[in-house]
Structure 1
Amino acid sequence: MQWIALSLPPTPNGTPPPSDALAGLATWALQFTPRVAIVDEAVLLEVEASLRLFGGRRALHDRIAAEVTGLGCTAIAWAPNSLAALACARGGIVNGLRLPLPDLLDALPFKVLSATTPCRLTLAQLGCHTLGDVRRLPRGGIGRRFGQTLLAGLDQAYGLRPEAHEWVQLPATFRARLELMSRVETAPALLFGARRLLMQLCGWLAARRAGITTFTLRWAHDAMRTRDAGEGGALRVRTAQPMRNIEHLCCLLAEHLARVVLQAPVGELEITADHVVPLHEPNASLLPDPRSDGESLTLALERVAARLGPDRVLRPVLVEDRRLEWAQRWQAAALPLPRARVAPPELAQPTFVLPTPLRLQVRNHRPLYRGPLALLTGPQRIEGGWWHCEGGTAAQHSQLVLRDYWVALSEHAGVLWVYQQRLAGDDIAWYLHGFFA
């Protein structure tokens, strides 16, 4: 397993970070994995199943590290389990996967483990400084003196006992607030705090695979305000199309804030999502995307063919032929595509086609493939290839087909594409030609 710990700093007076900040960070983290939990001053993410989706561990780490600082996170760490990741974040270790877990944790101060909090003074008086020192104490004595909580925390951190977390649930609606660290007297200066709320909004939208078309920024005036200033104000922002791009939303909000005049200093912000619609991002492609650099696929293939040679860059083209084996052919990519008018098949076509049809056994006039086959639909007669026979070679004569195709059902193999071959002078034979997905 691989876990990430995102730690928030304590408040200036030493108290834990506010719950709103932790909830906002957890909501943002749900775009990477549904397994997100809040433990003490940190948000923990189990990302083992998400690594391939986001391009691997390094790519995911770089993306999270680049974005999470805007949410107030001051420490990020990786480890094989959640408590170890949290201990690494507290100990200033980013990569907790580079060493065996016992060697890594034994060198850390024992204060990085929350289970040691009630007994830190006693452990220090016993001469313990690191988690390794605590582990070397007799387990029976630890259990009698400190209870089972400390032993359970040690075992979970070292991967000897399973962990249990209460996962953060993605809220159905979005509403986030932020208490500003100082009073803001000009509207454009509100963008600094609003950006953090917008990042939470974009993370919530990514987790829902949705985009925003309307959101509202509200602000509350400071308690030290004039009587006629009111409690606060609001600004509704609309987008031309659904989106969740943080930079565009910030630029759009900045343009609106430039025309706002605050009636009093502001001490608190709130953003709500008013209109949310599904937003499905296009799949990435191995080939050049014309929307990204303006180069079409045809131009890209021309460049590759010029570099490798025209005979080494091929593409499939459809052919006006009812025989499935000859319904497409490969031609040089530099050649223009033929204008083939291929009529839709009368019978369903299989998803996977065998390169060479497999002859089937027959029992009581019924074809067998992992048991008797039940013929569902058909027949569809396909005749073709006669134009190859006159004056042609033996290989060309073999391209003549006279087949009746059926969609068949096998109890163990699913839906199949079979045909019955009827050629003069030959016995009636059944062949398997393809599988339906």
Structure 2
Amino acid sequence: MLWACLLLPHLALDGVLRRRPDDDHPLVLVDGPLNARVVVAVNASAHQAGLHIGQRLTTAQALLARFEAIPYDASEVDRWQQFLASVAYRYSSQVVLLPHAIVLEISRSRSLLGEWPTIERHLRHDFSALGFHHRVAAAPTPHAAYVLAGVSDGQAVFTHDAMLHALDDVPLQHSRLPDDAIDALPRMGIRSLGQLLRMPRDGLQRRFGKTLLQAMDRLLGDAPAGFDLFVPPDAVDWRIELSHEVENIAALVFPLKRMMGDLAAYLSGRDGGVQRFVLQLEHREGEATRVPVGMLSPERDADVLFEAARGRLEQVQLPSPVLSLRLIVDDLPGFVPAGRDLFDERPANALPFEQLRERLRARLGDRAVYRWGTTIDPRPEHSQRVAVQDESFIEPRARPTWLLERPIPLRGNVHILAGPERLETGWWDGGEMRRDYYIVETTLGQLAWAFCAPDEQSGWMLHGWFA
């Protein structure tokens, strides 16, 4: 087996910074009692100003007059870790959450995704695009990968012997072993994992009990890993706290784009899509403003989701300033990617059809753009209707894109391209008809759908135009 570990050393800070437009203002996360706040994370600007982790907030304020201090939120850290685990789920069905890390089994994925360098490159790209710093390592056991990620970014070992060699020089303080052993072993002259692994097991058990030996066995793969696998939830309920009260819809575009990008990454990990979701704009007082978003088919492209949501959002009149943005998704249907031509002749800047369709629906209204459905009535006047959601349009015969409301005389000469197709039906409701339909070309080069009386080729009646 081969396990990959993605260590997330700045998870709490990354979760805060990615919600904000790029800026260089000093920012720190603080934790602890109100009268003894301690800095637990700093951004680059704050670090350059002399602020550091473990510093008292009062000391930091004495060093730097102006910076933003945000309370550390453990629940937000858990939510971000579960979100990233859902993203990693696209690479493996065996995903595990460890403190500030995600571990996944990838040996069974290599036949589909490629060898480890390819998988590592894709993992790094996904996590970097989402705005999260990370360290990556791979090893035959999950706990070994977890340990190696903490001491060397990018290290990968594929055999048990190579794993033992890589673990040999790991300092005990980075071994992820029980704290009591890490505190006591240096006083016995044991400072690295290699030294510990070569010690007699009987003596270690008498001194530290079975807990240390069990942790060592899990590290080397001699005992079950001892953790539960992560399964992505079947619903989404995310909330973004805005840094200030927002009175203009335009100011919600950045957090909305980030949220839709996260939703697309989450859906990709589940190999699913979304067709309907709700945005809630939460205010200081009164009920939240609900903005329902619906699409003609399940989608998971970030641009399509963003265009659909922004179009609905731009039509909202805010009753009061917005404090937070919430996304609620209760239904996550399956997703089938649209087919693409091998040689796509569209201009480079052309919008994909799905994105254009949802943009038009958002701007013009849900009823302005729809898809056709078929009926069992063969008469052209009654054979088409507006399709309901999720219904595909299937028309086995050639039919014009533009069908006239009623046939009109077709003047001039025509050139017959195909036909006849005889329609003789309608006897059941008094609308009986007998017609021979042809695909014809007019003198202007237009393709038309026209008919005439059976066994005749005169008195043409135009019924539709082909695109």
With normalisation by structure 1, the TM-score equals: 0.55
1:13-162 alignment runs, 5 A limit: 13=31, 14=40, 18-69=77-128, 70=130, 72-97=132-157, 100-162=162-224
Q: Give the conservation status (yes or no) of the 8 Å contact 1:28–1:199.
A: no
Q: Which amino acid aligns with 1:249?
A: L
Change over 3 Å in CA distance of 1:145–1:210 after alignment to 2: same
Partner of 1:370: none
Equivalents in 2 of 1:92, 1:261: separation in Å?
52
1:14-413 alignment runs, 5 A limit: 14=40, 18-69=77-128, 70=130, 72-97=132-157, 100-171=162-233, 173-178=234-239, 180=241, 182-183=243-244, 185=246, 187-190=249-252, 192-194=254-256, 197-221=259-283, 225=284, 229-230=285-286, 232-257=288-313, 263-264=320-321, 266-267=323-324, 269-281=325-337, 290-294=341-345
Aligned-pair distance for 1:115? 2.4
Structure 2 unaligned runs (5+)?
13-28, 32-39, 41-71, 347-467
Q: Give the conservation status (yes or no) of the 8 Å contact 1:178–1:197.
A: no
Change over 3 Å in CA distance of 1:193–1:59 after alignment to 2: farther
What secondary structure does 2:170 align onto? coil
RMSD: 3.3
Q: Which amino acid aligns with 1:293?
A: D
Residues 66-107 of structure 1 deviation map (CA, whole Å, 9 limit, x = unaligned): 112316352232222211111122223223227810111122
Residues 175-203 of structure 1 deviation map (CA, whole Å, 9 limit, x = unaligned): 13245484463655545555555455334
Equivalents in 1 of 2:133, 2:209: separation in Å?
33
Change over 3 Å in CA distance of 1:130–1:24 after alignment to 2: same
Q: Give the conservation status (yes or no) of the 8 Å contact 2:237–2:329.
A: no
What secondary structure does 2:263 align onto? helix
Partner of 2:5: 5
Equivalents in 1 of 2:181, 2:241: separation in Å?
36
What secondary structure does 2:225 align onto? coil
Equivalents in 2 of 1:118, 1:178: separation in Å?
39
Residues 220-256 of structure 1 deviation map (CA, whole Å, 9 limit, x = unaligned): 44xxx4xxx4364343333343221124323544555
User: Quick one: percent identity of the two aligned structures?
Assistant: 24
Q: Give the conservation status (yes or no) of the 8 Å contact 1:30–1:203.
A: no
Change over 3 Å in CA distance of 1:270–1:135 after alignment to 2: farther
What secondary structure does 1:280 align onto? coil
Bigger-Rg structure (1/2): 1
Q: Give the conservation status (yes or no) of the 8 Å contact 1:25–1:200.
A: no
Q: Which amino acid aligns with 1:22?
A: Q
With normalisation by structure 2, the TM-score equals: 0.52
Equivalents in 2 of 1:52, 1:192: separation in Å?
38
Equivalents in 2 of 1:256, 1:127: separation in Å?
66
Q: Give the conservation status (yes or no) of the 8 Å contact 2:86–2:270.
A: no
Equivalents in 2 of 1:184, 1:106: separation in Å?
54
Q: Give the conservation status (yes or no) of the 8 Å contact 2:11–2:133.
A: no
Equivalents in 2 of 1:168, 1:210: separation in Å?
17
Structure 1 unaligned runs (5+)?
284-288, 296-437
Equivalents in 2 of 1:265, 1:151: separation in Å?
54
Change over 3 Å in CA distance of 1:266–1:131 after alignment to 2: farther
Equivalents in 2 of 1:117, 1:265: separation in Å?
46
Equivalents in 2 of 1:107, 1:258: separation in Å?
58
Change over 3 Å in CA distance of 1:48–1:243 after alignment to 2: same
Equivalents in 2 of 1:293, 1:82: separation in Å?
43
Equivalents in 1 of 2:186, 2:122: separation in Å?
39
Equivalents in 1 of 2:229, 2:275: separation in Å?
29
